[in-house]
Amino acid sequence: MIPYARENGGYKYLLTCIDIFSKYAWTVPVKSKTGKDIAEAMKSILSKGRRVPKHLHTDRGKKFYNKDFEAVMKKYNINLYSTYSNLKASIVERFNRTLKNIMWKQFSLHGNHKWTNIVSKLTSDYNERKHRTIGMALARVTQKNEKDILKTKFVQRVGSVSRKFKIGDKVRVSKAKHLFEKGYEPNWTTEIFTVRRVAPTDPVTYHLQDYLEQPISGCFYEEELSKAKHADIYLVEKVIKRRGDQAYVKWLGFDDSHNSWINKKDIV
């Protein structure tokens, strides 16, 4: 929202937060991504007292991991945590796309990019919509009826979730693209991993291990994985030295700890 800051009193960003269970959402305009501003925005959400979570999942940015934000978490007794996944929280990102589409329609209708005066109403309208999964408006979900909703709406869905990969599958991991990264660079890791556990979450997540059978920190969504077609083929980045019929090589995509001796005849 940075390009429209002048039209919106200097507000450049929008903090979005979503309840994973009900999909109820909150939005708060902020002028910067400093720890202080983000902490104040989060405090404004929690101070309403209607829905205070036990756990809060964020990315690993400094805007969340600082003394100001951690003080808010401590005040409301909330466990702040992050995952190692390259993808941001998929559920809140889905809401962000929905909200963005609605906002841009309003921009076209009014002929400007003023959003600070409409975002609260747009968020409220979103929360009052009937959600297909739970069969009611998001705002109607409370602590009193959440157990009934869980039993009737979610149990069947979790049991029927499809799984793209299975334990033992060889996969590559998506590389996170940065703002100025060129599109022609490879999008998947050279290193091949093995699926060691399939977690029955919604959406399904996968736990991996490397070729030394060492577990990889965190878990991954299906969108971050691609099945390796040639799992037994590795690329040599360079030959470091030779000794008789053997060569000491560095493998492409691996650090120096994986350098090893191989037979020259195995190099194509």
| Domain around 145 | 2-159
134 & 21 share domain: yes
Question: Could you give the count of Cα atoms lying within 13 Å of 30 in the half-sphere of its Cβ?
Answer: 22
130 & 20 share domain: yes
- Is 163 exposed, middle or buried (CB count within 10 Å of its CB: 0-12, 13-18, 19+)? middle
105 & 28 share domain: yes
Domain termination site, one of 159, 189, 205: 159
What pLDDT, on a 0 to 100 scale, did the predictor assign at position 66? Answer: 93
| 9 assigned to some structural domain | yes
Percent of the chain with pLDDT over 70: 82
Whether 43 has a pLDDT exceeding 90, the answer reads yes
Q: How many residues does the chain have?
A: 268
255 & 133 share domain: no
- Angstrom distance (rounded) from CA 216 to CA 213: 9
Question: Could you give the count of Cα atoms lying within 13 Å of 15 in the half-sphere of its Cβ?
Answer: 22
201 & 148 share domain: no
57 & 138 share domain: yes
Number of domains composing the chain: 3
Q: What is the pLDDT of residues 183-211, one digit of tens each?
A: 434 467 777 889 999 987 767 888 998 87
Q: What is the pLDDT of residues 149-186, one digit of tens each?
A: 666 665 555 555 578 899 999 998 876 544 334 443 44
Residue 13 binned pLDDT confidence (cut-offs 50, 70, 90): very high
150 & 249 share domain: no
